[in-house]
Structure 1
Amino acid sequence: MEWRNVVGDKADGNAMADVTPIVYVVDDDVSVREALEALICEAGWQACVFATAREFLSYPQSSAPSCLVLDVSLPDLNGLDLQQQLAIDRCELPIIFITGYGDVPMTVRAMKAGAIEFLTKPFGDEVLLNTIRNAIQRSSVALSHVAELQVLRERHGSLSTREREVMALVVTGLMNKQVGGELGISEITVKAHRGRAMRKMGARSLADLVNIAAKLGISSHN
């Protein structure tokens, strides 16, 4: 497998603190790989280049903000098929397609599947660099959302069964008395469970708790 990982200074302030973004490149043309590697490293990002989709898939995933610059025509798994596979287990990875030729159906398929850009060779360096910056920003935001959701899930997991039940009913808009009627407990007990749930979830208000529940996909049936 051919890959090179070159660390440079952070390309911009959008990157996560102390983490250099990674730009993956998958292209079977060695001259293109080398040119893109040099361009990416000069911009201050890390570059990981691969000749085939299989090589890329076998490479360990990183938690750093990242994007994939992907050629459509590859010797094993083509770029569009790789995109489809990544949509299952790496949906947060932004994809920038590059190709020596392209047609409307191909472009439409790639964009509908979530690609952020479809560039036809030759393209200017700044066009690609600006697209990469946008992709890394998207990746950084997505990773922040994933981290936030993980924290919320852990907090929700710390709730007792009754606290979860009370929270699920409260966020639907029911009053404490109504929640008590649903669960067969007193209003005072509901208030106690509700207060503990809010503290554990880090909610400062009912509105906060409702927003948290929405992020977790919680309903009265959870």
Structure 2
Amino acid sequence: MNPSTDTAAIEPLIYLVDDDALLRDAIGSLLRSVGMRVAAYPSVAAFLAVSRVDVTSCLLLDVRLQGVSGLDFQADLNREGVPLPVIFMTGHGDIPMSVRAMKAGAIDFLAKPFRDQDLLDAINVALQADSARRSRDQALHAVTARYATLTPREREIMALAARGLMNKQIAGEVGTSEITVKIHRGNAMRKMEAKTFADLVRMAEALGLA
């Protein structure tokens, strides 16, 4: 389930899993007609057999499939921590199904036959959500990389400062002078590329330190 490292294609990609060949063709034609890339599969097994590319994506998923059902596959994705926005499609949907899907994080639950515009609107919402998530992940990766350059003492003082302790309190906590605390705190801000102390606090929160 790990995404491919192939990033040659940067355009968003819509994955479609539905065992109805006619519907796959119709949706594929619709999406391509508005300039979207689509990769279609008849089953979950076929989808899993191909590595996903590392681009903004979403998954159009039929509820009732041969083998693993759409709802069960959504649960599998959640358990594995795969952050792929899901839009369900079904010709046999009911309220309990839609509630289960939405509680598990589905972007939308479309009853067949649905309007083309409803599908396109749901896809746009899903792609925006995935793009925002990818931006957050990239920002956290950058912060984590900078945090790795801090010394153990700088990390300790960054965490204590982010929790609201004053320099004098931190000095007493770690057993050093207030001047030394200021130096380490300044080093931490420089290495973390924090323009303000508020920036440093937000980074500490993102890292789970505060």
TM-score in terms of structure 1 length: 0.88
**Alpha-carbon distance, 1:91 to partner:** 3.9
Q: Does residue 22 in structure 1 map to residue 17 in structure 2?
A: no
1:151-170 to structure 2, matched below 5 A, reads 151-170=142-161
Secondary structure in 2 aligned to 1:60? coil
Q: Does residue 109 in structure 1 map to residue 81 in structure 2?
A: no
2:57 to 27, 43, 66: 66
Q: Does residue 85 in structure 1 map to residue 90 in structure 2?
A: no
The residue type equivalent to 1:125 in the other structure is D
Inter-CA distance 199–156: structure 2 relative to 1 (3 Å threshold): same
What residue in structure 2 maps to residue 6 of structure 1?
none
1:1-12 to structure 2, matched below 5 A, reads none
Query: How far apart in 2 are the matches of 1:87 and 1:161?
Result: 34
The residue type equivalent to 1:176 in the other structure is N
Aligned pairs, how many?
A: 202
Q: Does residue 96 in structure 1 map to residue 121 in structure 2?
A: no
Q: Aligned-pair RMSD on alpha carbons? A: 1.1
What residue in structure 2 maps to residue 12 of structure 1?
none
**Alpha-carbon distance, 1:19 to partner:** 2.1
1:215 to 203, 206, 210: 206
Q: Which blocks of at least 5 consecutive residues in structure 1 are unaligned?
A: 1-17
The residue type equivalent to 2:35 in the other structure is G
What residue in structure 2 maps to residue 76 of structure 1?
67
Encode CA deviations 1:73-124: one digit per residue, 9 max, x unaligned: 1101100010001113344211000011111111110010000100010011
The residue type equivalent to 1:73 in the other structure is R
TM-score in terms of structure 2 length: 0.93
Encode CA deviations 1:6-33: one digit per residue, 9 max, x unaligned: xxxxxxxxxxxx8210000000111111
Q: Does residue 45 in structure 1 map to residue 36 in structure 2?
A: yes
